[in-house]
């Protein structure tokens, strides 16, 4: 398992939407029953929802701005009781102070006896569900491409400039990462024909680093080689919690000009909740295999490497920044469209 990424979407500049992913290592009854581990997970999520003003002096150095929609991966809850308990604990913390949060969760997915679930937690006052779609993974001449087929959700966000967007989540099997990442191209094509949305976010634990995806395989991965898909997380972005591991496992890929235009290019970075909460490496591993990363989306206001320029898009930023010998993007391939 790997890290958690934060994608902060500020559509239109009136209200911001922060979209996050959190890979909770083997989340089930065992974790819920351990108060220390449960508290770490809740604090991890709670930090995501704190309502701090962005760039407010030192507050943002220790805290994360609000997270309005969170993808949760690696839920192994055979009896179906652990995740509802997590939601109860989460909502109890905010009762009387915050709106209650809703959720949507997939069926148990996987081959044979090993099963996982995807789930989304969201603030009901800001985000609502338009539709859900469990990708069937049934294609001619191609059998069972995914170990955990994407649970695709179409969200509505009426208070923001971008009124709707689709999230395609993925938690790949490490040994099959190349094939599964490539097959996400087919998932996009299928969903784009099914729904009318033009704004797509493909995100999650790709296992897209450290031997699982060799450099020689990248040109053959359609999600990477097709120019319309925009990778905002690069190959050198470390998203693992282990100090001995430096791997860009988790990724965020965008499709759709409006959502690409909305990204603030300098904002993709890992948030190290181990340091923020003063945890030991073992405590972090007990709760999650992932760190947090951030990407800020704010209408057409983009802050580049040398300052902010209104009207500069993510695409324009990377095109201009590549002229600099020191440019490395959001990682070595951040923003690359091959």
Catalytic residue flag (residue 43): no
Which one is catalytic: 171, 183, 298, 317? 171
CA-CA distance, 147 to 78, in Å (whole number)? 17
CA-CA distance, 60 to 252, in Å (whole number)? 22
Q: Where are the alpha helices (DSSP H) in the chain?
A: 29-32, 35-49, 59-62, 82-94, 177-194, 222-225, 257-261, 273-277, 281-287, 314-321
Q: With contact defined as beta carbons under 8 Å apart, do 56 and 50 qualify?
A: no
Q: With contact defined as beta carbons under 8 Å apart, do 264 and 297 qualify?
A: yes
Which one is catalytic: 74, 116, 149, 180? 116
Number of helices and strands in the chain (H, E): 10, 17
Q: Which two tokens stand for residue 143?
A: 């059998």
- In eight-state DSSP terms, residue 113 is T
Catalytic residue flag (residue 29): no
Q: If residue 123 lies in a helix (H) or strand (E), which one and from where to where?
A: strand 117-123
Q: With contact defined as beta carbons under 8 Å apart, do 77 and 116 qualify?
A: no
As annotated, the active-site residues are 116, 171
């Amino acid at each position: 398992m790997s890290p958690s990424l934060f994608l902060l979407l500020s559509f239109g500049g009136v209200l911001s939407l922060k979209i996050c992913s959190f890979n909770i290592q083997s989340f089930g009854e065992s974790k819920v029953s351990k108060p220390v581990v449960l508290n770490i997970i809740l604090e991890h999520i709670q930090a995501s929802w704190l309502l701090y003003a962005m760039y407010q002096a030192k507050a943002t150095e220790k805290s994360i701005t609000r997270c309005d929609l969170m993808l949760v991966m690696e839920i192994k809850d055979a009896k179906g009781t652990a995740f509802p308990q997590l939601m109860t604990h989460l909502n109890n913390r905010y009762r009387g102070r915050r709106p209650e949060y809703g959720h949507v969760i997939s069926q148990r997915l996987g081959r044979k006896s090993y099963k996982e679930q995807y789930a989304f937690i969201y603030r009901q006052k800001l985000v609502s569900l338009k539709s859900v779609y469990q990708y069937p993974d049934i294609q001619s001449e191609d059998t069972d491409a995914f170990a955990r087929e994407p649970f695709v959700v179409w969200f509505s966000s009426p208070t923001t400039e971008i009124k709707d967007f689709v999230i395609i989540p993925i938690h790949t099997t490490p040994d099959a990462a190349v094939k599964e990442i490539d097959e996400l191209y087919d998932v996009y094509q299928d969903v784009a024909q099914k729904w009318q949305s033009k704004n797509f976010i493909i995100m999650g634990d790709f296992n897209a680093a450290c031997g699982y995806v060799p450099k020689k395989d990248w040109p053959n991965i359609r999600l990477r080689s097709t120019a319309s898909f925009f990778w905002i997380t690069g190959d050198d972005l470390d998203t693992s919690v282990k100090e001995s591991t430096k791997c860009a496992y988790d990724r965020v890929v965008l499709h759709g000009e409006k959502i690409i235009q909305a990204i603030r290019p300098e904002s993709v970075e890992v948030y190290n909740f181990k340091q923020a909460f003063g945890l030991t490496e073992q405590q972090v591993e007990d709760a999650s295999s992932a760190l947090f990363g951030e990407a800020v989306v704010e209408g057409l206001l983009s802050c580049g490497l040398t300052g902010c320029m209104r009207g500069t898009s993510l695409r324009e930023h990377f095109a201009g920044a590549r002229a600099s010998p020191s440019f490395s993007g959001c990682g070595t391939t951040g923003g690359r469209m091959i």
